[in-house]
Chain A
Amino acid sequence: MSEFFTQAVLIAAVASGIRLAVPLLLASLGETYGQRSGVLNLGVDGIMLLGAFGGYYTVLKTDNVWLGLAMGIGVGVILGLVSAVISVTLKAEQGISGIGIYLFGLGMSDLLFQKLVGTPLPVGSFPKLDIPGLSDIPILGEMLFRHSIIVYVAFGLVPISMYIINRTTFGMNIRAVGENPEAADSLGVSVVRIRYLTVTIGGMMAGIAGAALAIDLGIFQQNLTNAQGFIAIALVYFGAWRPAGVMAGSLLYGFVNSVVLQFKTLGIIPRSWSDIAAMAPAIITILALVLVARRFRQPAALTKPFTRGT
Chain B
Amino acid sequence: MLEMRGITKRFPGVLANHRVDFTVNAGEVHTLLGENGAGKSTLMKILYGLYQADEGEIFLSGERVEIHSPTDAIAHNIGMIHQHFMLVETLTVAENVALGLPSNRGLRTDLDAVSERIEELAGRYGLAIDPGAVVWQLAVGQRQRVEIIKALYRDAQLLILDEPTAVLTPQEVDQLFVTLRQMTDDGRGLIFISHKLHEVLALSDRITVLRQGTITGQVPVEGATRESLALMMVGRQVKLAPDKPPVEIGEVALEIRGLSVMGDRGDKAVRGLNLEVHAGEILGIAGVSGNGQREMAQAIAGLRQATAGSIRIGGVETTNHTPADVRKNGLAYVTEGRLRDGAIADFSVSENILLIDHTDKRYLKRGLLDFKAIKEHSLRLVDEYAVKTPTIDTPAKNLSGGNIQKMILAREMSGTPTVLVASQPTRGVDIGAAEYIHKRLVQQRAENTAIMMISEDLDEVFALSDRIAVIYEGQIIGIVDRQTATREQIGLMMAGVRPE
A contacts, CB < 8 Å to B:
167-170, 172-173, 175-176, 179-180, 182-189, 300, 308-310
Contacts and interface: CB of A to CB of B under 8 A. Distances in A.
Contacts of A173: 99-100
B90 A189 contact: no
Given A168-B107, A172-B91, A180-B88, A186 B80 contact: yes
B25 interface: no
Contacts of A169: 98, 102-103, 107-109
A248 B312 CA distance: 49
A176 B91 contact: yes
Given A175-B88, A176-B88, A184 B100 contact: yes
B244 interface: no
Given A182-B86, A186-B80, A172 B108 contact: no
5 smallest A-B Cβ distances: which pairs?
A: A187-B100, A188-B71, A183-B86, A188-B100, A189-B100
B200 to A, nearest CB: 25
A154 to B, nearest CB: 23
26 contacts: A168-B107, A169-B98, A169-B102, A169-B107, A172-B95, A172-B98, A172-B99, A173-B99, A173-B100, A175-B90, A176-B99, A179-B88, A180-B86, A182-B86, A184-B88, A184-B99, A184-B100, A186-B48, A186-B50, A187-B74, A188-B70, A189-B100, A300-B89, A300-B90, A308-B50, A310-B51
A310 B42 CA distance: 11
Nearest to B80: A186
Contacts of A308: 50, 69
B108 A167 contact: yes
B121 interface: no
B109 A168 contact: yes
B150 interface: yes
A187 B70 contact: yes
A189 B99 contact: yes
A172 B82 CA distance: 22
A183 B99 CA distance: 9
A309 B70 CA distance: 12
Contact of B107 (A170, A184, A185, A310): A170
Nearest to B103: A169
B252 interface: no
Nearest to B97: A187
B210 to A, nearest CB: 19
Interface in B65-103: 69-71, 74, 80, 82, 86-91, 95-96, 98-103
Nearest to A173: B99
A175 B88 CA distance: 9
A168 to B, nearest CB: 5
A308 B52 CA distance: 11
Nearest to B85: A183
Given A175-B90, A176-B91, 14 more contacts: A168-B107, A169-B107, A172-B95, A179-B91, A180-B86, A182-B86, A184-B88, A185-B70, A187-B101, A187-B150, A188-B71, A188-B100, A300-B90, A309-B45
A308 B82 CA distance: 14
A186 B90 contact: no
Given A184-B100, A186-B70, A187-B70, A168 B91 contact: no
Given A176-B99, A186-B70, A189-B100, A168 B108 contact: yes
A186 B71 CA distance: 8
A162 B395 CA distance: 41
B88 A183 contact: yes
A185 B71 CA distance: 8
A187 B109 contact: no
Contacts of B88: 175-176, 179-180, 183-184
B136 to A, nearest CB: 10
